[in-house]
Amino acid sequence: MTSTDSVMIVSEEHPGLLDKLEDLLNRQISQARKGDFRASEVLSEQSGKIVDKLSRADVPQSVEFKEKFERLAKLYRQAILIVAAQKDRLEGQLQQTGRTRRTLRAYRGGG
């Protein structure tokens, strides 16, 4: 196999990698919406490996790839926003739990 052959194989692999990345991002968003951050984190690690592989490769600069990259960027931004919103919600719940515990301790006389 020549280096030209290996480049051709990598280039042919791009659409499949981009499709897989899109699927992983959609699944990550779904899991984050459900509040399953462990599953979302695993999917994020998997998608990160694909992004690393694509960043090392010479991805063709065609309209088809540009549109897919724009769609992937939109999904990525959506995933970030969902995770940030869930994080804020959880932080609020933790603060409320802390206030409730302090109140209970005060009522018990242990405060």
| pLDDT tens, residue by residue, 13-44 | 677 888 999 999 999 999 988 888 889 889 98
CA distance to 9, 60, 106, per residue, from 38 (Å)? 34, 34, 35
pLDDT tens digits for range 65-90: 788 888 999 999 998 898 888 888 88
Can you tell me whether residue 59 is helix, strand or coil?
coil
Residue 45 pLDDT greater than 70, yes or no: yes
Compute the mean pLDDT over every residue in the chain, rounded to the nearest whole number.
Answer: 82
Q: Is 17 helix (H, G, I), strand (E, B) or coil?
A: helix
What range defines the domain where residue 71 resides? 3-108
Total domains present in the chain: 1
> What pLDDT sits at residue 15?
75
CATH number, domain with residue 39: 1.20.58
User: Which tokens is 95 given?
Assistant: 């603060």
Q: Could you tell me if 76 and 29 are in contact, meaning their C-beta atoms sit under 8 angstroms apart?
A: no
